[in-house]
A and B are shown apart, each in its own frame.
Chain A
Amino acid sequence: MSDGKGGFVMPKVNVLDKFCKSCELCIEVCPKKILAVGDKANAKGYFTIVCTDEEKCIGCKICATVCPDVAIEIYK
């Protein structure tokens, strides 16, 4: 994917720890199976979701679509 400067950038999924409740709905719908429960707890004690392989993200937004806490941002 072009970054407009002749190079290529990969889409990026960013989980906002403040909002994530680790309900795992995103893990299930991710077509690339690159989301998982992380090993760090947020202030509420939820082990928030992490992306295990950022290079594989295709920026499809499906994880963000099902996230009930609007805790996922997608960059492209």
Chain B
Amino acid sequence: MEKIFGRSKGLTDVPFSFCPGCTHGIIMRLIAEVLEELDIIEDTIGVSPVGCAGFSQDFFSCDFVGAAHGRAQAVGTGIKRSLPDKIVFTYQGDGDIAAIGTQHAIHTAARGEKITSIMVNNAIFGMTGGQMAPTTLEGMKTSTSPYGRNIGTNGYPIDLPKLVANLEGAVYVASVSVDSPKNINQAKKAIKKAFQVQQAGLGFAFVSVLSTCPTNWGLTPSDSMKWLRENMMPVYELGELKVAEEVKSL
């Protein structure tokens, strides 16, 4: 018998430390498979943030650097400018990249930095126990918006991929989801393209992935998937938001 599905060489043998049903693990699998398929595991340096995504440094089999909260893209810039022939990616939560790290999110894209950034958007601060994030939806209850996010006092959620897509240096921007087998396969295609863009040296590539946080949402893994579909997808439009001309021919 032949193994037709198993753990990618891009992953270590360390079990994920995430809560049961957390979709971080799906996204990590997709990235690991892309690294293996493109045969770049040994050429890749990942940058992990602070938050649940920070554990990624233990789970990928490539070299990793742990950044301060929000700084992963600046750290990734430093690595890439020092070693332009290597592949550099950041793996960040929405709290990390769209709140404390927003200045780097904007300027890394504006500079057209030749790195790949993956944002995991679960609309909440997971590691610290479910506080309001820049991506928290209107009316959504969190521990710091216990009566629901009030637009009047807390403002509107940020759709970072749309913001980034406006910047010239970002040549590939996609918004995907991992709520269903079909969308998971779509997500992998986008992630793969984001790495191919870097291999071709075309500019900054950004993939936002809608993800769940069953523990802090207070839902079962299965209901979390449903909640994502019904509540997040209408707010955060899925699809390839930007494919620059030079990327189309990839």
Contacts and interface: CB of A to CB of B under 8 A. Distances in A.
Report A-B touching, CB under 8 Å: yes
Contacts of B185: 65
Given A65-B181, A70-B11, A70-B25, A25 B5 contact: no
B53 to A, nearest CB: 14
A61 B1 contact: no
Given A46-B20, A62-B181, A74-B3, A69 B221 contact: no
Contacts of B112: none
Contacts of B4: 59, 61, 74-76
A64 B5 contact: yes
A23 B5 contact: no
Contacts of B1: 3, 9, 12, 75-76
B3 A65 contact: no
Contact of A23 (B7, B11, B180, B221): B221
B24 A68 contact: yes
A35 interface: no
Given A29-B181, A66-B184, A21 B7 contact: no
Interface residues of A, number: 30
A23 B25 CA distance: 12
Contacts of A54: none
Contacts of A65: 181, 184-185
A9 B185 CA distance: 27
B221 A25 contact: yes
Contact of A73 (B5, B21, B23, B29): B5
Contact of B3 (A23, A68, A75): A75
A68 B22 contact: yes
Nearest to B179: A66
Contacts of B220: 24
Contacts of B6: 73-74
Contacts of B3: 73-75
Contacts of B25: 67-70
Nearest to B5: A74
Contacts of B184: 65-66
Nearest to A65: B181
Interface of A: 3, 9, 12, 16, 18-19, 21-25, 28-29, 44, 46, 59, 61-62, 64-70, 72-76
8 contacts: A16-B7, A22-B20, A25-B222, A66-B180, A68-B18, A68-B24, A70-B11, A76-B4
5 closest cross-chain pairs (CB), A and B = A23-B21, A68-B25, A21-B20, A74-B5, A23-B20
